[in-house]
Amino acid sequence: MTDDTYADDSYDPVTNRSEIVFCYDAVDANPNGNPLSGANRPRIDPETQQAIVTDVRLKRYLRDQLDDDGHGVYVRNVKNEAGKQSSREDLLADRMRELDPDDWDLDDLDDDEAAELREEVFGTFLGASTDVRYFGATMSVDMKGNYEGFEDYLPDHFTGPVQFSPAKTLHPVTENEEYNSLTSVIATGEGKEQGGFDLDDHRIQYGFIAFHGLVDENGAADTKLSEADVERLDTLPWRAIKNQTISRSKVGQEPRLYLRVEYEDESFHLGGLTRDLDIDEERSAPVDELRNVREFTLDGTELVSRLGCHADRIARVRVVASDVLDVTVGDEVYTAGDKPSEHGFYDALREAVGDAVEVVDVYDEAAATMPE
């Protein structure tokens, strides 16, 4: 695929690489159960006792939020008219519905027409599949019906230019034993006799989770990822955790910090920014006693210092922090101000990288990214 595959005036290509830090916490919740454990227990590193959240879990939240916002999503859980899970063929046909198959005779295309159709199929599918522009997808599908044969004009897979690494909590976690065995009492018959059965309900007491992500400007052309798509990322994870963690085991999770560093230099990024974050053990409760964010203080000293050392390579830093998150940088403890745009951590970043710091107004900016 060439860089001019999507040559049109409406496509604003991504030119700079970005690195993302996204942190949220979980209180009496199961942030990512492991079905192979037999009881969907939280994923916990057996050596460090840190909770683990996979990138697949985060991307599911992001896809669901995109779907709720009205953006086209290819990888989703929907049922067909018969009430059965839609097949991959159904999902692909749904994303291709803006393309009229009657306009093309697949058995009688010359080279120029085949190239034109390939561009039409690419443009139609990617324009209707926001999640694929971000995360890519496997496309090995045999189509039937009206779109049979059109799948040959798509690649076997799209490699997503936006990728997240599996996340861990910044500290060891403790399973909340009070939730491990619950009994549900139900009426069992006409006489309203009550019976009960045990429920396995495994949750962690508290965990502060840190995800690292990367936006690859080189891979962005392959999925037609645009600057507008990248800007949408500045509000999407925050709102996804707010809106998509409403199931019984997931409730209790809140976004705490989002930071996207956009670099000036082509093909450059610092890497591993979440490893520059830590729990401030002096100002936090003992890890086995942590119950909520007000007992936790984030140490951002190394992160701010590292960004400051490379300030000349940074185009901008997009950031938003929770109003109840305390952050230490050096000997200073930074807290929220009286307005959403005020947090001492923003000032610490400005001291390090200058005017490149931009505070994200999540809900005002999100409104501007909604489909028309």
Q: Are residues 363 and 239 in the same domain?
A: yes
Q: What is the CA radius of gyration of the chain?
A: 23
Last residue in a domain, options 101, 128, 163:
163
3 state DSSP class of 116: helix
The per-residue pLDDT for 199 is 55
Residue 1 lies in a domain: no
Residue 189 lies in a domain: no
Q: Are residues 131 and 239 in the same domain?
A: no
Q: Are residues 105 and 249 in the same domain?
A: no
Q: Are residues 359 and 217 in the same domain?
A: yes
Residue 48 lies in a domain: no
Separation CA 161–CA 219 (nearest Å): 5
Separation CA 12–CA 217 (nearest Å): 12
Last residue in a domain, options 163, 193, 222:
163
The per-residue pLDDT for 162 is 98
Q: Are residues 273 and 363 in the same domain?
A: yes
Q: Are 96 and 125 in contact (CB under 8 A)?
A: yes
Residue 194 lies in a domain: no
Residues shown for the chain: 372
Q: Are residues 105 and 235 in the same domain?
A: no
Range of the domain at 144: 60-163
User: Residue 124 gets which letter from DSSP?
Assistant: H
Residue 286 lies in a domain: yes
The per-residue pLDDT for 238 is 98
Interacting residues of 50 by C-beta distance below 8 A, sequence separation 6+: 44, 168, 169, 170, 171, 172, 173
- Quick count: other Cβ atoms within 10 Å of Cβ 259? 25
- If one counts the domains in the chain, the total is 2
Q: Are residues 362 and 222 in the same domain?
A: yes
Residue 358 lies in a domain: yes
Q: Are residues 268 and 156 in the same domain?
A: no
The per-residue pLDDT for 80 is 65
| Residue closest to 296 by CA, chosen among 259, 331, 333 | 333
Q: Are residues 237 and 312 in the same domain?
A: yes
Q: Are residues 294 and 146 in the same domain?
A: no
Residue 192 lies in a domain: no
The per-residue pLDDT for 266 is 82
The per-residue pLDDT for 118 is 86
Q: Are 353 and 329 in contact (CB under 8 A)?
A: no
Q: What's the CA angle centered on 185, arms 179 and 187, to 5 degrees?
A: 160
Q: Are residues 100 and 244 in the same domain?
A: no
Q: Are residues 158 and 243 in the same domain?
A: no
Last residue in a domain, options 133, 163, 193:
163
Residue 190 lies in a domain: no
Residues lower than pLDDT 70 in the chain: 1-10, 79-85, 177-200
Q: What's the CA angle centered on 188, arms 184 and 194, to 5 degrees?
A: 55
